[in-house]
Amino acid sequence: MPRTGPPHSHPDPERLLRRRRGPPRKRGPPRREADQARREGRPLSLGQELLEIAFHRASTVSVGGKTPLARARHLALRKIGRTSGILLRHLRQRTQPFRVLSDLSPFTRSLLKERLGEGTLERSLSRLRVAQERMISFRTEEERRIPGLTERDAMADAVRRFYGRAASLIREVEPDLLRLDEAARLLKDRPALEGSLPAVVVTGFPNVGKSSLVGRLSSARPRVGPYPFTTVAVSLGHMTLGTEPKLQVVDTPGLLHDAGDTRHSAEREALLAMEAGQGLVLFLLDPTGSCGWPLSRQEELLGRLRARFPDRRFLEVENKADLLRSPSSRLKISCLTGEGLEDLLRTMEDAFREMHPGLPDLPPIREGVDEPGEDAPRRGIRG
């Protein structure tokens, strides 16, 4: 017998479907962008990676509740809380190494300024701090709205609204995140020259033996090779003058110029180390010309550096004395055989005593030197 009654008594199929399966799930634009990138074989951008991590973690939350409405409310709050927490943690991790810029060494600050540009780091840090405040504001706004909602669809809309605003914010500051990542890599890969310790900066043309000398004198283990431009970044070692203080020994990339915008970034790092290192500049020359540049060209660069840094004390040293001893009055050494290294150490001690009165005596120097060979330049000679 057919059922009779008013039309509104018939069950609504769409309503029954929502009761059984819940409200239809909608995937926000950030997830669609990530899925499209994967289909096209493109790597995810940094912002997409952060959003994928946060949204995936939020999708795994589980909640309880006495009624479906209570569970939906708790679920919406948990998703928003977890998403914001993950994104805020990543934003804070990027700014953590730069909380106090004044604590960075002068060399590090100069290097960051040279690599990123004047004021760029400060602007990126400021934008990320503002982004954290905005993220917290978005979360607080939805957390206050959701408890008053009485429909699950409205709660789902609140979650999607927060996802969209959070995604827009992350995309907005993505260039700043990349910039801070680059700055953090520089902090990790480059030494921090301490302004309180005396330093000797070893510089000169490529392939004159700077890294071999630094390996002989200090705790550094620079890369040594029979070709120019083996050293591509500033590195740092230490040696001891008596017991305290330690002396910083800085190995720099090879120099071809002393000024000009055409310098390679490695050359700019070498000049920054000379500017930041409050101490002695040891200019190493190769009189044999086997480095690829004649001695006259090396002396020309030395003169320009002296004019550029008039307040620095220069020590001129000729390497490869085992091959050629020029008639000049410069100190002659051989990083390969160890010839002249004891005299070099005494000369450095005398120079630092004049620059830093009150230094203790140097420890005794071992009799003899390491046997020549491929590894000899990489070992120290102090006992």
215-243 in b/e burial notation, b at 16+ Cβ within 10 A? bbbbebebebeeebebbebbbbbbbebee
CATH architecture of 199-378: 3-Layer(aba) Sandwich (3.40)
* pLDDT averaged over every residue in the chain: 77
**H helix or E strand, kind and range, residue 151:** none
Residue 138 CB partners (closer than 8 Å, separation 6+): 84, 162, 165, 166, 169
Under a CB-based contact definition with an 8 Å cutoff, are residues 288 and 320 in contact? yes
Judge if pTM exceeds 0.75: no
Residue 216 CB partners (closer than 8 Å, separation 6+): 335, 338, 341, 377, 378, 379, 380, 381
Whether residue 317 is predicted with pLDDT greater than 90 in this model: the reply is yes
* pLDDT recorded at residue 213: 86
The average pLDDT across 125-140 equals: 96
Higher-pLDDT residue of 48, 189 = 48
CATH 1.20.120.1190 fits 27-189, yes or no: yes
Under a CB-based contact definition with an 8 Å cutoff, are residues 154 and 67 in contact? no
Residues 230 and 207: their CA atoms lie apart, in Å, by 8
| CA 18 to chain CA mean position, Å | 52
* All structural domains of the chain with their residue ranges: 27-189, 199-378
Out of 4-18, 67-81, 270-284, 350-364, the most confident range is: 67-81
* pLDDT recorded at residue 245: 58
**pLDDT tens, position by position, 69-97:** 999 999 999 999 999 999 999 999 999 88
Confidence of residue 112 (pLDDT cuts 50, 70, 90): confident
Higher-pLDDT residue of 139, 114 = 139
Residues 376 and 249: their CA atoms lie apart, in Å, by 18
Angle at 122 between CA 119 and CA 123, to 5 degrees: 85
Residue 51: Cβ within 10 Å count: 26
Residue 199 CB partners (closer than 8 Å, separation 6+): 193, 247, 248, 249, 250, 277, 278, 279, 280
